[in-house]
């Protein structure tokens, strides 16, 4: 059965929405109703002309506008699988063909392929009559070849699986006349072939059998009771054979739809007429009620244009003698704007890089309205202050595209409210929010708190002493905002600056690597760099000036008299004497007294 179904798959090509200027195709598949969950409906690999690995790589998935997902796509095999068993009659009712619409969404590049799955009917419903027993009251002098219409059996199945024929139990008075009308339905009637005689037989019973065309065939039966009456030679007559009425949907319960009228030229009980429905589907019985005495038809349930835009009511007028006449009431339901537009988001780029170029497609969505005409025509808008714009496409699709450059550091996320409004009266609106987080790029270098840091350290410090700390910040996020600190190469006297000062790469703390001597070095100048971890990385620099603070760590000492000298000393070096930068020792000054 599965191979037979796949052999019946038909491709239908037509113009559809395509993203990134690619050609899309529409594929038509079919699957019988009542197949178990997990059954394979079709394989899209050959139709899409893709390898199996490409489906996973391009994140293939099925998207549906309906609230319920009946199918799923296996991206490894390319099989479209049933999510659950489908009952065609519950899903589509009278609608034929029964088609479920989906789209295969492919990304990188973004593509849509329309998938139409026709749910084929199986013969899972037998024909049913509205009652098990039908009573006809027929006068004894009724003319031969008079035809008495019989109520049709209802079959929820369609096509060949619906009612195809009727048979009647053998009898000598009536034959079964079966006719097929232009609408494809089959109608049966009793034709009188032998004169009735009330005195000979007052009542007879027949069995009517309805047979469908399925495999195997299903049947439904009803008993026909015929009461043979005394002479009633005039049947009722309706004033019209067809009544046409227009009715607004959502009309309140009990609203008068129309009134049918029949008359009978007989008198007494033979002229008393009662009205009843004849050969009407269940939805008519739910939606309308008939006053059997007056012929007034009123609403009895909700009238919904989206469920049924037309109703055909068959009515029978029966006089007191059992003769009947028939007419039809055609009710055309007029649409009311009672359905707001519905937005179905097909694809969203999330997150969106902040360096995305203008005209980048951010999201794809469709809008549908279950109403008709102007009530179903919709427009979509967004806040014009946003850096996005809507671009209308075909088949009620819209693209959300960028119209300005983005800056994550200014706005890290956008919640775009799509307002869909129809053109009905009054207009109905729906709101749908599309969240678009903005992803960071490394477009901001680190920034130090100040370009020059002034620090102090006392001479004779302990090696490893904390001198101070520098700090920089980065407006970017995550790796782009993670910083490392380093000391750039430099010289102190004849040695590298890195032999005097070190920095913690994570905290920015500066440490003295050796004990410093004020009389030797009074100031260290260090260049510090902050580098982020973006790609490519960005950096900035700051200068750190470390002042060495003097301590009283040298006592005065006598330079004269010099060794082997006989003259008394008249010079000394005070504690506060400055160091001679050329000789590396403290300078001398004369004193008058020692």
Long-range contacts of 1-6 (CB under 8 A, 24+ apart): 1/32, 2/39, 2/40, 5/30, 5/31, 5/32, 6/42, 6/43
Residue 126: what are its φ and ψ, rounded to 5°? Answer: -80, 160
Q: What is the pLDDT of residue 562?
A: 54
Distances (CA, A) of 13 to 25, 245, 295, 394: 5, 40, 52, 15
Q: What is the pLDDT of residue 179?
A: 85
Q: List the chain residues with pLDDT less than 50.
A: 1-23, 568-577, 581-594
- Distance in angstroms (rounded) separating the CA atoms of residues 456 and 199: 135
- Distance in angstroms (rounded) separating the CA atoms of residues 303 and 285: 12
What are the start-end ranges of the E strands in 193-261?
203-212, 219-229, 237-238, 242-248, 256-259
Residue 437: what are its φ and ψ, rounded to 5°? Answer: -70, 145
Q: What is the pLDDT of residue 3?
A: 36
Q: What is the pLDDT of residue 163?
A: 84
Q: What is the pLDDT of residue 542?
A: 96
Q: What is the pLDDT of residue 573?
A: 47
Report whether the peptide linkage leading into residue 301 is cis, meaning its omega lies within 30 degrees of zero. no
**SS3 category, 339:** coil
Convert the pLDDT of each residue in 398-411 to its tens digit: 999 999 999 999 99
- Distance in angstroms (rounded) separating the CA atoms of residues 457 and 446: 27
Q: What is the pLDDT of residue 561?
A: 60
DSSP letter string over 107-137?
A: TTTTEEEEEEEEEE--S----B-S-SEEEEE
Residue 431: what are its φ and ψ, rounded to 5°? Answer: -115, 135
Q: What is the pLDDT of residue 594?
A: 28
Q: How many CB atoms lie within 10 A of CB 70?
A: 19
Q: What is the pLDDT of residue 24?
A: 65
Q: What DSSP element (H or E) covers 89? A: helix 88-92
Q: What is the pLDDT of residue 14?
A: 32
Quote the pTM value. 0.54
């Amino acid at each position: 059965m599965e191979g037979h179904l796949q052999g019946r798959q038909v491709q239908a090509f037509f113009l559809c929405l395509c993203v990134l200027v690619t050609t899309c195709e529409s594929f038509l598949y079919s699957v019988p109703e009542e197949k178990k969950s997990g059954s394979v409906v079709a394989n899209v690999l050959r139709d899409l002309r893709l390898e199996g690995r490409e489906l996973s790589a391009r994140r293939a998935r099925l998207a549906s506008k309906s609230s319920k997902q009946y199918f799923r796509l296996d991206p490894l095999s390319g099989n479209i699988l049933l999510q659950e068993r489908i009952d065609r009659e519950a899903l589509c009712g009278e609608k034929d063909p029964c088609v479920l619409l989906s789209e295969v969404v492919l990304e990188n590049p973004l593509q849509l392929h329309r998938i139409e799955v026709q749910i084929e009917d199986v013969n899972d419903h037998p024909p049913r009559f509205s009652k098990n027993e039908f009573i006809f009251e027929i006068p004894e002098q009724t003319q031969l070849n008079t035809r008495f219409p019989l109520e049709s059996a209802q079959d929820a199945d369609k096509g060949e699986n619906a009612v195809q024929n009727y048979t009647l139990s053998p009898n000598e008075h009536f034959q079964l006349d079966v006719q097929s009308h232009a609408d494809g339905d089959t109608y049966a009637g009793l034709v009188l072939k032998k004169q009735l005689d009330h005195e000979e037989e007052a009542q007879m019973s027949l069995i009517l059998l309805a047979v469908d065309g399925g495999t195997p065939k299903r049947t439904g039966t009803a008993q026909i009771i015929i009461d043979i009456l005394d002479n009633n030679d005039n049947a009722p007559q309706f004033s019209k054979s067809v009544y046409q009425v227009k009715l607004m949907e959502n009309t309140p319960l009990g609203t008068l739809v129309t009134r049918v009228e029949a008359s009978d030229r007989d008198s007494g009980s033979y002229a008393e007429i009662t009205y009843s429905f004849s050969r009407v589907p269940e939805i008519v019985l739910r939606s309308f009620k008939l006053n059997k005495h007056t012929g007034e038809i009123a609403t009895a349930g909700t009238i919904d244009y989206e469920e049924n835009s037309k109703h055909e009511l068959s009515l029978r007028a029966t006089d007191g003698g059992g003769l009947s006449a028939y007419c039809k009431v055609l009710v055309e339901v007029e649409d009311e704007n009672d359905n707001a537009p519905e937005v179905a988001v097909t694809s969203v780029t999330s997150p969106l890089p902040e360096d995305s170029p203008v005209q980048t497609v951010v999201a794809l969505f469709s809008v549908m309205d279950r109403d008709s005409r102007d009530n179903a025509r919709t427009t979509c808008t967004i806040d014009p202050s946003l850096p996005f714009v809507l671009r209308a496409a075909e088949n009620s699709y819209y693209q959300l595209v960028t119209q300005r450059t983005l800056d994550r550091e200014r706005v890290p996320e956008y919640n775009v409210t799509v307002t869909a409004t129809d053109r009905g009266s009054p207009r109905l609106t729906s709101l749908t929010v599309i969240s678009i987080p903005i992803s960071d790029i490394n477009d901001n270098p680190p920034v130090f708190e100040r370009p020059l840091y002034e620090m102090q350290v006392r001479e004779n410090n302990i090696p490893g002493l904390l001198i101070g700390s520098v700090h920089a910040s980065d407006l970017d996020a995550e790796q782009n905002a993670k910083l490392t600190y380093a000391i750039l190469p430099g010289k102190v006297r004849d040695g590298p600056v890195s032999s005097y000062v070190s920095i913690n790469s994570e905290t920015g703390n500066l440490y003295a690597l050796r004990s410093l001597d004020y009389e030797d070095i009074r100031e260290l100048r260090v260049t510090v760099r902050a580098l982020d971890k973006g790609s490519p990385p960005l950096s900035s620099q700051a200068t750190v000036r470390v002042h060495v603070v003097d301590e009283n760590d040298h006592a005065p000492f006598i330079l004269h008299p010099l060794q082997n000298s006989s003259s008394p000393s008249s010079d000394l070096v005070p504690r506060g004497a400055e160091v001679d930068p050329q000789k590396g020792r403290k300078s001398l000054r004369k004193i008058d007294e020692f």
